[in-house]
């Protein structure tokens, strides 16, 4: 198994071409992946394979993820500067309409969302346009499509845009401050509980490190030792290599759109690498 996992941020919209608009890049990449004869599969299949929980044929496969859980993941939105934006969900349904259900029968996107409504509201006002683009009403609807899984991107991202005291006195703006049980429980297990209540009977089982910051305590202690508390099976980082049988389940590599690749040509190199 060597499965590249790609990551997008649907709020990254500073124009309307591939390099300036993650949803546009996502739509183009679906076609590139298909043209290369690769199969898109759910990220949880990759994790199940890694952990020996399943034995599927994952040769020549790719998994897709997106971070931060804005409404751009699911709903088309009129952007105040750059016009109407197709959601990642509708990029998937457009692809199906264009190429047929059989082209990519396991087509799937894993969306890592921020749990705390208060933190999302602050991020919406502080980092986005303050138009309510970070709500959670779409989570169960997205999950019900069967095309999207809602997963755990922490309680509040420990984001600097949240003008509240950090959990357990943590300074804001870095996830590396999550260095003890109380902080880890509040950032990860509390997020699982909140997300699970919204998407029941589904459950979140995958974590994605905010800022791709991998704190030693979380990686070495909390995730491996307290599974019954947080329910996570694996955690995603930014290692820029395919997931393979020896990958670290608590820091699985991904390639980030706009960082590890900025053009279809560069992605082609990654996918064929």
238 touching Zn ion, by CB under 5 A: no
201: cis peptide before it, omega within 30°?
A: yes
State the minimum distance, in angstroms, from the CB of residue 226 to Zn ion.
22
The distance of closest approach from Cβ of residue 231 to Zn ion in the complex, given in angstroms and rounded to an integer, is 20
Give 68 or 75: the residue with its C-beta nearer to Zn ion: 68
- Which residue from 83, 72, 93 is spatially nearest to 23, judged by alpha carbons? 72
At 134, give phi and psi (nearest 5°). Answer: -125, 40
State which of positions 187-216 bind Zn ion (CB under 5 A).
Answer: 210
Residue closer to Zn ion by CB (options 68, 124) is 68
Q: Phi-psi region for residue 165, left (φ > 0), alpha (ψ -120 to 50) or beta?
A: beta
Q: Which stretch binds Zn ion (CB under 5 A): 64-72, 116-124, 187-195, 219-227?
A: 64-72
- Residue for token digits 């390639």? 255
CB under 5 A: which stretch of 59-67, 127-135, 141-149, 190-198 binds Zn ion? 59-67
Q: Does 67 bind Zn ion (CB under 5 A)?
A: yes
**Nearer to Zn ion among residue 23 and residue 271 (C-beta):** 23
Residue with tokens 């991202």: 157
Binding to Zn ion by residue 68, rule CB under 5 A?
Answer: yes
How many residues of this chain interact with Zn ion, rule: CB under 5 A?
A: 3
Torsion-angle region of residue 179: left (phi > 0), alpha (psi -120 to 50) or beta? Answer: alpha
How many helices (H) and strands (E) in the chain? 11, 10
Residues that bind Zn ion (CB under 5 A): 67-68, 210
């Amino acid at each position: 198994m060597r499965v590249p996992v790609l990551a997008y941020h649907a709020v990254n919209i500073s124009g309307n071409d591939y390099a300036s608009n993650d949803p546009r890049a996502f739509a183009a990449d679906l076609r590139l992946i298909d043209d290369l004869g690769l199969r898109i599969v759910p990220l949880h299949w990759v994790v199940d394979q890694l952990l020996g929980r399943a034995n599927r044929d994952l040769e020549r496969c790719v998994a897709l993820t997106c971070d931060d859980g804005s409404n751009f993941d699911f709903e088309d939105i009129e952007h105040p500067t750059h016009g109407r934006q197709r959601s990642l969900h509708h990029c998937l349904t457009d692809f199906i309409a264009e190429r047929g259900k059989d082209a990519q029968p396991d087509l799937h996107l894993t969306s890592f969302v921020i749990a705390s409504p208060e933190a999302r509201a602050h991020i919406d006002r502080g980092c986005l346009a303050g138009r309510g683009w970070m709500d959670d009403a779409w989570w169960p609807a997205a999950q019900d499509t069967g095309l999207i899984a809602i997963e755990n991107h922490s309680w509040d991202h420990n984001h600097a845009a949240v003008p509240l005291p950090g959990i357990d006195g943590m300074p804001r703006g870095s996830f590396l401050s999550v260095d003890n049980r109380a902080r880890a429980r509040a950032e990860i297990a509390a997020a699982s509980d909140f997300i699970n209540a919204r998407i029941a009977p589904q459950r979140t089982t995958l974590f994605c490190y905010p800022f791709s910051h991998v704190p030693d305590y979380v990686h070495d202690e909390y995730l491996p030792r307290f599974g019954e508390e947080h329910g996570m099976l694996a955690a995603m980082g930014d290692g820029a290599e395919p997931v393979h049988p020896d990958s670290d389940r608590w820091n699985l590599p991904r390639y980030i759109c706009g960082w590890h690749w900025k053009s279809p040509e560069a992605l082609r190199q990654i996918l064929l690498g």
